[in-house]
Amino acid sequence: MRKQAEGVRNIVQFNWHFYAGAGLMVLLLAVGIGVASDHPAWRLGLWLILLAVLLPTVVSLLISWYVYDISGLYGFRWLSCTAAPPQRVVNIHAGFDETSALLRQRFPGAALRVLDFYDPAEHTEISIRRARAAITPYPGTEAVRPAQLSLATASIDLVVVMLAAHEIRHPAQRVAFLCEIGRVLTPNGRAVVVEHLRDSANFMAYTVGFLHFYSRATWLAAFRAGGLRLEREQKLTRFISAFTLSAINGTAS
């Protein structure tokens, strides 16, 4: 079970330098506002700067709390993409695994394999390193390259890639990764890719941070290039999209 407000606590813990900097800036601006009490124009300017720092920070944390802690995202009740319960499930992540144990609970009768494509040479963000240090890997987790999944062809009923595929920053490598997912799916198998999108809602939530994500059009083009057919698109929240995919050469249900 996830702990109360675990999502927001993880965000603050792994990005504490950002929040410490924002807090220090707010403190300095508050002091400046007090000092500038006899200069209305300066005081107004400092208030505007303070709001420009404080408001986006608070909004992003509130939205993150909604998305990761109270929306039901990690309950996986929305994850129902095959006619029969999957017998072989693969969870793929980029170094921070919040979902394998939860998928085990969601599909207790399935054989679960966990793949990690984290590469310290490519994934250099300090937040990922902190996350990896804080989270114990799921037992049996296998290190892989995105274009070389250690899975047999047509062997997997369900592949889940939860908030991780955008960490593959090179378009050709991303397409190769999607091709590999299509290769390993059984004829009736499905892949579920869950992502934030580069759209107005995520801009409102994360301001320039939304540039770390990709647009819906980019994902749809990548799915096609990777030989995957879009079976279903769900808005799990206004800020999160889930794409259910099948291999184009597979059997659509």
Choose the final residue of a domain: 49, 70, 91. 70
140 shares a domain with 232: yes
Distance CA 127, CA 150 (A): 27
130 shares a domain with 56: no
Which helix (H) or strand (E) segment is 114 a member of?
strand 111-116
Which is nearest to 58 in space by CA: 10, 9, 19, 16? 19
DSSP secondary structure letter of residue 214: B
Distance CA 58, CA 64 (A): 10
89 shares a domain with 52: no
Distance CA 159, CA 162 (A): 10
Phi, psi dihedrals of residue 200, rounded to the nearest 5°: -65, -35
126 shares a domain with 98: yes
Specify the residue for token string 């403190």: 27
Instruction: Kindly tell me the number of DSSP H helices and DSSP E strands found in the chain.
Output: 8, 7
Residue 143 lies in a domain: yes
Q: Identify whether the C-beta of residue 8 lies closer than 8 Å to the C-beta of residue 69.
A: yes
81 shares a domain with 65: no
| Amino acid 129: pLDDT | 85
127 shares a domain with 44: no
Q: How many domains does the chain have?
A: 2
| Tens digits of pLDDT across the chain (253 residues) | 778 889 999 999 999 999 999 999 999 999 999 998 888 999 999 999 999 999 999 999 999 999 999 999 999 999 976 668 899 999 999 999 999 999 999 999 999 999 999 998 888 788 888 888 888 899 999 999 999 999 999 999 999 999 999 999 999 999 999 999 999 999 999 999 999 999 999 999 999 999 999 999 999 999 999 999 999 999 999 999 999 999 997 644 4
Residue 227 lies in a domain: yes
| Amino acid 250: pLDDT | 61
106 shares a domain with 211: yes
| Amino acid 101: pLDDT | 95
| Amino acid 184: pLDDT | 97
- Alpha-carbon distance values, 116 to 3, 149, 206, 217 (Å): 23, 10, 26, 26
109 shares a domain with 37: no
3-state secondary structure of 18: helix
Q: Which domain holds residue 54?
A: 6-70
143 shares a domain with 202: yes
Which is nearest to 137 in space by CA: 107, 165, 95, 105? 95
81 shares a domain with 60: no
Q: Identify whether the C-beta of residue 248 lies closer than 8 Å to the C-beta of residue 229.
A: yes
168 shares a domain with 86: yes
Choose the final residue of a domain: 70, 104, 125. 70
CATH code assigned at 175:
3.40.50.150
128 shares a domain with 27: no
